[in-house]
Amino acid sequence: MRGVFIVLEGIEGSGKTTAARRLAVRLAAEGYDVVATREPGGSAIGERIRSLLLDEPVALCAETEALLFAAARAQHVREVIRPALERGAVVVCDRFVDSSLAYQWGGRGLPRDDVLAAQALATQGLESDITILLDLPVDVGLARRAGDVGQTNRIDDESRAFHERVRSAYHALVAEDPGRWRVIDADQAPELVQAELSRAIEPVLARQPTSIDSQDDELSGVRWRP
């Protein structure tokens, strides 16, 4: 039985990383076998690529950046995501293919077909069961990131115009295929975001039986990658 693949997307500061972690903990407490992971990253190779993409003070051209994201995703899919789904787990992933479209097509202006071709090679057709967009104004997101002292990265430091293009690209993707997306207002209290997120994923979880007993330790049952 194939598992369930849940992806959270959003601009910088949208809170998706925190939301994904809280969701994974809750699902594990309810008895699901959960793998919580992120992009870029999730695998040993992916984490090394992540450091190069986000942390290293190097100048990357748009094409190099796009291909590095795709390379990390290819390893992630084969090493982590697909095996977890094949055993019936619930995979909660912080970013996936739509991030590449939003950032490399929308933000960087690379040809959309080229970005899609790289994703097709990386994923070999794997798609999420549901994609959640945590949406909020760019100014709010950047202000949140600025408050994360010592946690900002190369992408955070891009211009406001860049981040506006990324958000616009997300909105364009939702408009093209609304049935694939659920949009949640991220400019509200975290508990309200979490409540909406829980309601959004109910239909895809309905077909997935729990596989472990609920645990007292809130981290039990979650396989954290990394």
Q: 138-195 pLDDT, tens per residue?
A: 999 999 988 776 677 889 889 999 999 999 999 999 999 999 999 999 999 999 999 9
Does some domain include residue 222?
A: no
Does some domain include residue 82?
A: yes
* Assigned token pair, 138: 């760019």
Distance between CA atoms of residues 195 and 23, nearest Å: 10
The three-state secondary structure class of 87 is coil
CATH code of residue 72: 3.40.50.300
- The pLDDT-based confidence of 224 (bands split at 50, 70, 90) is confident
pLDDT of residue 221: 63
Q: Nearest-5° angle of CA 145, CA 147, CA 152?
A: 45
- The pLDDT-based confidence of 211 (bands split at 50, 70, 90) is low
Closest by CA to 185, choosing from 204, 164, 200, is 200
Q: Which helix H or strand E contains 122, and what residues bound it?
A: helix 112-123
- How, if at all, do strands 181-185 and 130-135 pair? parallel
Contacts of 88 (CB under 8 A, 6+ apart): 1, 2, 3, 33, 208, 211
C-beta neighbour count of 121 within 10 angstroms: 13
Does some domain include residue 217?
A: no
pLDDT of residue 220: 47
Does some domain include residue 161?
A: yes
Please report the DSSP string for 185-212 in residue order.
E-SS-HHHHHHHHHHHHHHHHTT----S
pTM of the model: 0.91
Domain count, the chain: 1
Does some domain include residue 218?
A: no
Tell whether omega for the bond before 226 is within 30 degrees of 0, i.e. cis.
Answer: yes
Does some domain include residue 116?
A: yes
Whole-number average pLDDT of the chain? 91
pLDDT of residue 222: 78
Does some domain include residue 46?
A: yes
Distance between CA atoms of residues 205 and 27, nearest Å: 10
Mean pLDDT of 46-65: 90
Q: Which domain holds residue 40?
A: 4-208
pLDDT of residue 1: 62
User: For 67-103, what is each residue's pLDDT tens digit?
Assistant: 999 999 999 999 999 999 999 999 999 999 999 999 9
Encoded amino acid at 176, one letter? E
Out of 6-10, 59-63, 78-82, 101-105, pick the least confident: 59-63
Does some domain include residue 113?
A: yes
